[in-house]
Structure 1
């Protein structure tokens, strides 16, 4: 296979071959999850374990094993690291330290939206991302129940693939008809996608201050970002509290959004960095179709500064 190389000018060689492999693995993992979802959900065979960071099921474990087995077989462990939700806690301190110093790292969430998987909303996803020195260059987000897979390479755009192999480029809505001047009225034209749960009072206050036109309720982060790419929503906000989203929640969704023309940053405008030692993405994160992105970040920061005084 082609060896991945960074040319030093923002260009990477070998990404198309890499993403083709990741797409195949994503579809395979999606099939595993669908088999559990249709055959074992709400069954004792699902082996639901309630843990501090949320539930884990036999489906999480099976999909994780499949993804790692397939990636290891192709890429090995000499030049690539692996950061997965299901195996990270079992790594030794030495292994975690070594991972931080590995330039190429696969970041994996085999089942994002486990609670939605258990509750049968259908809003769960597979996340697979390859990062280079902390930034994503390849991403796959599979939505099993929609039977769609979204993939992106850095600089190569975002595509949606159906199970019959048909691929279509996708772009976020630019809302070009909206006024150029950004004010409360333009932000009020936007809709936000949020979780049904995991919303504390601080986050609810922030939403009320931003006065969005509508709220859409969706489970997995990957599914939320897809709703923005497919122009069913405009904004997604993450605000950490006692806990925070993890690298594997954000890495793949970020790239499929930004390569589709959207933006995904911290409230202060800085990019998200991955595989930095702490897998938590603390603070406020803003994902949008790009309309009013900076203004939304500014308003969110100003409001939080007031309530956190």
Structure 2
């Protein structure tokens, strides 16, 4: 079984492995997209998953979520091999995962409230008043105004759609959240605020985040570790500093190119939210502490 070309960061002391991918292969006909791929995601971290166009970043995420089949390999979630457990355990594991797809994937005929309640209705048996209360709580949690809960997706801006979709991903209080290009289509301020939201939710809820992204700002500002996909497998994983020192032409051009040099050190100077709902949520959190 192949390991990444270089595992730079020492894994000692990183704690529980929440997601383990071993020797995974995915092919579409004769086209092999992923081959002998290994990856670990640790509890409490934000992992950024990057790679060139067409390398299979979203394919791996969808394979982990069993939305597309894999030809080979083992995927363990919370220590459990999903393929080996019974149906009841599969449901239990499914409930501990949340997903935000690239364009939100909200149901257009449902309100934000009803979209958030979809996983509740699928997995839980709760009275409607309680589901309504939970939906309103999730809306507040992602920084949307209270009246957004009864709006339809067509009435929302792009940034609001992303937040509503994130609220749905958090509906069942998951341990592990998958984000597919979460800042794609957002302006720089909106993207920075969304990054801040993800970091804050990780800290307050104890989330683990698997983020497929091409956004260098996100990688520099909120990701604890980064995994780079290349040649059908994870070629390197580590911190931003590790990426900057890794001797590979694509990695160097990506992390040291013109676009990367334009990024301020947002880890040192956090972006303050300008969205009124986020400002209120941030203020309430400060008062609580």
By the TM > 0.5 criterion, same fold? no
Provide TM-score, normalisation by structure 1: 0.29
- The structure with higher relative contact order (CA 8 Å, sep 6+) is 2
Provide TM-score, normalisation by structure 2: 0.31
